[in-house]
Amino acid sequence: MTGVHLIHHPLVEHHLTILREKSTHPSLFRQQTHRLATLLASAATADLPLRPLNVQTPLCQIEGQTLAVRIAIVPILRAGLGLVEPLQELLPDAEVWHLGMYRDEKTAQPIEYYCKLPDQDPCDVGFVLDPMLATGGSVVSAIEALQRWGCGDIRVLSVIASQPGVDRLNRDFPEVNIFVAAIDPILNDQKFIVPGLGDAGDRIFNTMR
């Protein structure tokens, strides 16, 4: 499984429409983000490898299945935090490692201010979380950090991506899987996704001014 995965589902369309609406209250915005992240996570984990595990039911012993890989959840601060909880609910044993980046308002380039990934013992699968994949700059930095760590299977989860951002990641990292609920066509002069939904971090954390 490689490339870009646009999730087609009636619930995705429904929840995304509410998320885009300018008047959606921050509390509802967070709920919709949570719901969409759950749907994205379901798709992004569909092919995780399993190994047999024998368990004892109240009636007999049976061979079941358990995950056979170590997983890292890597949110890009701060907006990526809005996607963490749904992933943890589905993957309660996953490690969570944070990457802090902000965008230079003049150049639109990401500036890293926090990275605590270990130097060794990498996870098998890394999920990079960023609600908005605009230029792709922050996600590129996150992918490069996971590659330096030695993570061999990197998957990006974004609610909305721009076509230029998706094209950039697909070109530079063809081995990385990208899971998105929508791909919007363009970026404006400020490098915001259009039509998009504005600043996801501000809307999640109610810091719109």
- What amino acid positions are annotated as catalytic residues? 103, 107, 199, 202
Cβ atoms 161, 193 nearer than 8 A: yes
Residue 120's CB is within 10 A of a number of other CB atoms, namely 6
Measure the CA–CA gap between 30 and 130, rounded to whole angstroms. Answer: 14
Strands (E), 117-194: 125-129, 132-133, 153-162, 177-184, 186-187, 193-194
Determine if residue 83 is left, alpha or beta; phi over 0 gives left, psi from -120 to 50 gives alpha, anything else beta.
Answer: alpha
The token pair that represents 47 in the structure block:
């092919």
